[in-house]
Structure 1
């Protein structure tokens, strides 16, 4: 199946049948999110994987009252790093130097350029908003990867971030949830959206070509 075929197949399933996503399939989807692009490669967000049925039931009751949370196989939380962004840059540069086996001082120009961008943003809150946009790129890659695996993936903003963060102990981890995504398999009998034609703007009304 091509990526285009997979994207025609996928939709945001509203009801799921409880079937478990195989571990190896799940790992491929999460690894796709890990490999997603981000500005400077900084990757200022992390993935929180919730498989426990009991914990997802509590999240459903207290923070994310949507059926996919408990009917799906797994819940992925895309969470930004809520800590000093210049410290994140330093950690990234150290990791890059180790990975590429170069002297860290050779990356000082790159380090200072990224920190300059952080200064331009002006506040920690502005940096958090920027980080959230990077997390959404990762979610898009994960959605596509799930479609290629023929796993349903339902992204959701309809939850209470503060309650979800508290339930998962994200604040202690220096994380702040941005968006969540349920993984599983569609329940075609109960989901009214199953089998419906995909509605998108025509290509000529969507793509503006400037020559």
Structure 2
């Protein structure tokens, strides 16, 4: 978005710019003043919409959880498809993913954030609900989320480069599907 902002939804423009900058430079380098400059608006404009960095990160995480919930719902009830959708989201939206699970950056009492988290969690749990012979659903949900999130994070951060475990030239979605296929949840 190299051009100056002129009209439309400034909030959405700033969130988009924030996600892009975080994906490129990381969370620590983001500033409201820098976002305003990138969007071509006054330095006070982002603060007007979000208050401060924590407000901006909370709004970005809320948007991320809503987008993730939509991706997971489209994936359907099969756990493998849900896992692949989760990995796809993490890789396609690194700016959102980088803040969504960082409680130190977010307003814990934000009602919109809590609702968005619940929506994405429900969609992830539905993938586990399709498994047969599962007695302890909560433990299986935790295990499935941990494995998929861990894999997505490790792949996104380049941790598998040079690893004997994963050929980095293979599609991460294929690897995610294989991982879920190997897990036994009963």
Q: Which structure is higher in RCO with an 8 Å CA cutoff and minimum separation 6?
A: 1
Q: Relative to total residues, which structure has the larger helix share, 1 or 2?
A: 2
Larger radius of gyration: 1
- TM-score under structure 1 normalisation? 0.28
TM (norm. structure 2) is 0.31
